[in-house]
Amino acid sequence: MLTPKYPTPDTAPAPAPVIQSPPAPAPMPVPYEPTTTAPVTQTPVPMPVAPTGPARPTVQLTSGAVLGVVAGGTAVVLIVGTVLVSMLLATAITAVSVAVCAVVLRSLLNQQGKH
């Protein structure tokens, strides 16, 4: 009735064997011969000094700028919070609908088994 069908054997020629040559011998290490040298004293080169000019002015925020930064941060937090809450609500609605579908299917299958 159901007999397996085996694929036909390959007719490709067998690959040629790869002949590897023996590895070359490692070179002999050269012995270390320490040499004596006179110590060299170096005088440090003085570093160039950056010119000292007027200091950069500090950033001063006005009350309007602080108010704008606070309003912008508040808006970002509210928008991100709204998006996250809507995603959580969508997940909850999906879970409830799947649960309702499961209950309906279970009741349909139970009724079919009784008849």
| Nearest residue to 65 via CA among 56, 53, 73 | 73
The yes-or-no verdict on residue 88 having pLDDT over 90 is: yes
Gyration radius (Cα) of the chain, Å: 41
Domain positions in the chain are 86-115
Report, as an integer, the average pLDDT of 82-99: 97
The structure's pTM equals 0.41
Return the H-helix or E-strand segment holding 85. helix 63-114
CA distances from 95 to 2, 3, 19, 90, 106 (A): 43, 46, 65, 9, 17
